[in-house]
Amino acid sequence: MHKYDLGFISDEDIYEHVKKTVEAYRREITLNQFNENIIDPIKLTFDAKVYGKTIQQAVEDECFRQIDKSNTNRIGYFHQNLFHYAGNGWVVPPVGFDVENDKLHIYVEMKNKHNTMNSASSQKTYMKMQGKLLDDDEATCYLVEVISKRSRDEAWRVSLDGRPREHKKIRRMSMDKFYALVFGVEDAFYKLCAALPQIIEDVVKDNPGLALKNTVYEELVKDHADILTSLYLLAFKTYDGFDKLNDK
């Protein structure tokens, strides 16, 4: 294991946290999983011809698209659960807010992107924070965005029942500012991002069982050397005329 020297979290803890995230990643896709919602071979044909790819490349791209969709929540796990290691009263509770510090009276809801909440979700979250301020007049609540429009720590402005609302103790904060608040290091989030490629590389290298297992192409060519034939039979085998493909 390399020395990461982040300063605000030990090498062992960040390695273990990244390992847990990689373990949670979807790392396998079979033909049955690939075709759960019936793959559209016509679209894959267009994708291949329009973008100058082979059918195999188009299939692999679709595999990664499906895997990527499954992994969105795993990245949320990475961002939220890193604060298990922060100490000083920071916790990731099973219920309640995403991250809490009762000692500092800080309560956090975390979102990956600034545009992931619609109006109804924003209102619900804001009202949850209002409720916390009523229960604890020392509380400060934060909506923390991993990918924000800009670095910020400001009052969160929302519209409730058509009226604009703003409270100095209900705040909207970018992830860099939150790391600075939690760890007391201004560029802590930058340091993590800079070290992350090496940490992930170390985890994957040290744990060969975490590699991707993709058997889709192998299964598609098992019965037909022509992968496009296999794709059309996968979707249209009961359609009139497609029995002719079995002769190829």
pLDDT of res. 137: 93
Dihedral sign for Cα atoms in the order 99, 200, 216, 49: positive
pLDDT of res. 73: 76
| 111 contacts 146 by C-beta, under 8 angstroms | yes
176 and 145, same structural domain? yes
222 and 184, same structural domain? no
Instruction: State the Cα–Cα distance between residues 78 and 80, nearest whole angstrom.
Output: 6
Tokens encoding 139: 């509380």
Given 190, 208, 223, the domain boundary residue is: 190
35 and 74, same structural domain? yes
pLDDT of res. 114: 62
Residue 3 lies inside a defined structural domain of this protein = no
How many structural domains does the chain have?
2
Q: How many angstroms separate the Cα of 55 from the Cα of each of 41, 59, 69, 232?
A: 10, 6, 21, 12
Predicted confidence pLDDT, tens digits, the chain (248 residues) = 689 999 999 999 999 999 999 998 888 898 888 888 888 999 999 999 999 999 989 999 999 888 887 787 788 889 999 999 999 999 999 999 999 999 999 999 999 876 667 888 889 999 999 999 999 999 999 999 999 999 999 999 988 877 888 899 999 999 999 999 999 999 999 999 999 999 999 999 998 888 888 888 888 888 677 888 888 888 898 898 888 777 65
DSSP helix/strand/coil, 3:
coil
91 and 76, same structural domain? no
pLDDT of res. 156: 95
Residue 6 lies inside a defined structural domain of this protein = no
DSSP helix/strand/coil, 199:
helix
| DSSP, res 101 | E
Beta bridge partners of 141: 107, 170
Q: Global pTM?
A: 0.82
Which H helix or E strand runs over 18?
helix 11-24
Residue range of the domain that includes 40: 11-82+199-247
